[in-house]
Amino acid sequence: MSSRTDGPLSPEEERSLLAAEFVLGVLDPAEWEAAQARLSSDPAFAEEVSAWEARLGPLADEVPPTPAPDAVWHRIAARLLVRDTRPAPLRTRQAGLWESLAFWRAFAGLATAASVALAIALAVLPAPREAQGPVLMAALAPAGSQGAFLISIGPGDALVAHPVSLDAPPTRVPELWLVRAEGDPLSLGVLAPGERTVATLPPQLSAGLREGATLAVTLEPPGGAPEGRPTGPIIAQGPLISR
Amino acid sequence: MEDVYLATSAKLFGICLRILRDRAEAEEVLQEVYMTVWRRADSFRPERASPITWLAAVARNRAIDRLRSRGPHSRRAPLGEALTAEDPRPLPDQALLANERLRRLYTCLDALEPERKALLREAFFGGVTYLELSSSHDVPLGTMKSWIRRSLLRLRECLDP
């Protein structure tokens, strides 16, 4: 492929270059402001910016991390009305996060941001201790606002399910399903409503679990869906990713 | 969310500090970054980049935005400080292999002439404008633009063959 850097550029190439300059940060203030505004009005430009952020972004790994003051977190928590569970100095406690219901309850009430918050959590947080080794994980985001769940499936078909938030009437229980391309959804079991569920999946159930498969949660009568088919509404769903 | 903050804020604060070179402003921008992440959650594309890369991109964007709104002559630290053409590449080769995207980026950057690579790195880490670059390197603005644009196009050709 010959270099096109010397000849006149097509409009697409100009747009891509502008996006690159924007991401790099070399535009002057007026051009910067115009490009920033263009993000919302020009989807093709926004796509190019996304592409350049992905190309150049990894360079940011070189910047040495600098611990941020706790005060910043307290201000964020106040603005977002997140329950600030530790007004005292923040302590890192990466181990055991999955076991901490208080941590996951902090995600409750996230509404539209739940899915990205959970995706971030999946990416940065260690897997649960029951699932050391290659795991499949899913963040089941609210279909309405009734529930959000974090699921992990680890070696030995160990399933761990965390109800991040659940708004269910007392006559209903959450049931986890594997949504299949063909055929009825397959039940992976009833989840404990207020605490995490740890279970071992039988092999016939775990066979269909792979990256990209969709998990969903419905509300069912106590004991689960009577005939093994979902009867209640889907309250959360999401794809399995591998970690 | 608090533990997500703990897991990600040091990286993002480092990015803001490097660009703004002012601790108080970096703290303000850091707060703005998490608010932005919250509001613009639906613009995150998991197929495009990892969540961390996206967070870092938001941090750079907010930091540069703050820098641009400061005005042209208000940089606190002298230009060029700690942003030389040296290659502070702290990551050992083994770690690079685990980060495929970064490894490919390094390979493509290395394919550029060393001075061009240094310019791109200076721009990326420092958030400097074309004008500041042309001034600090004592070349005409048009020349600097041409250098950087050509380098970006070559970079893209290398990364997306």
Q: Do B10 and A84 touch (CB under 8 A)?
A: no
Residue in chain B closest to A91 (alpha carbons) equals: B6
For residue A66, give Cα distances in angstroms to A25, A33, B23. Answer: 22, 29, 11
pTM of this structure: 0.65
The answer to whether A216 and A236 are in contact (CB under 8 A) is yes
pLDDT digits (tens, 9 = 90+) for B112-130: 999 999 999 999 998 899 9
Residue of B nearest to A121 (CA): B4
What pLDDT shows up at residue A53?
Answer: 92
Measured between CA atoms, the residue of chain B closest to residue A51 is B48
Predicted confidence (pLDDT) per residue in A37-56, tens digit: 999 899 999 999 999 998 99
Distance CA A6, CA A63 (A): 33
Q: Which residues of B touch A115 (CB under 8 A)?
A: 41
Residue A178's DSSP bridge partners are A186, A215
pLDDT digits (tens, 9 = 90+) for B122-156: 999 988 999 999 999 999 999 999 999 999 999 99
Out of B53, B149, B155, the one facing A57 most closely (by C-beta) is B53
**pLDDT of the residue at A238:** 80
**How close is the nearest chain B Cα to the Cα of A171, in Å?**
30
Residue B125 to residue A63, Cβ atoms within 8 A: yes
Question: Per residue in B10-69, pLDDT tens?
Answer: 999 999 999 999 999 999 999 999 888 766 665 666 556 667 788 899 999 999 999 998
Residues of chain A with pLDDT under 70: 1-6, 80-137, 141-146, 164-165, 242-243
3-state secondary structure string across A90-149: CCCCCCCCCCCHHHHHCCCCCHHHHHHHHHHHHHHCCCCHHHCCCCEEEEEEECCCCEEE
**How many Å lie between the alpha carbon of A70 and the closest alpha carbon of chain B?**
9
Q: In terms of CA atoms, which chain A residue is nearest residue B90?
A: A62
- Tell me what pLDDT residue A86 has: 46
Predicted confidence at residue A182, as pLDDT, reads 79
Which of A20, A121, A123 is nearest residue B152 as measured by Cβ atoms?
A: A20
Q: Which of B18, B43, B72 shows the shortest C-beta gap to A63?
A: B18
Task: Count other C-beta atoms under 10 Å from residue B91's C-beta.
Answer: 14
Q: How far is A220 from chain B (nearest CA, A)?
A: 30
* CB–CB contact B2 A73 (8 Å): yes
Question: Which residues 6+ apart lie within 8 Å of B135 measured at CB?
Answer: B79
Give pLDDT tens digits for B80-105.
444 433 344 545 554 444 467 888 89
B140 touches chain A (CB under 8 A): no
Question: Edge-to-edge strand order for the sheet containing A234-242?
Answer: A186-190, A173-179, A214-220, A234-242, A136-142, A147-154, A158-166, A197-200
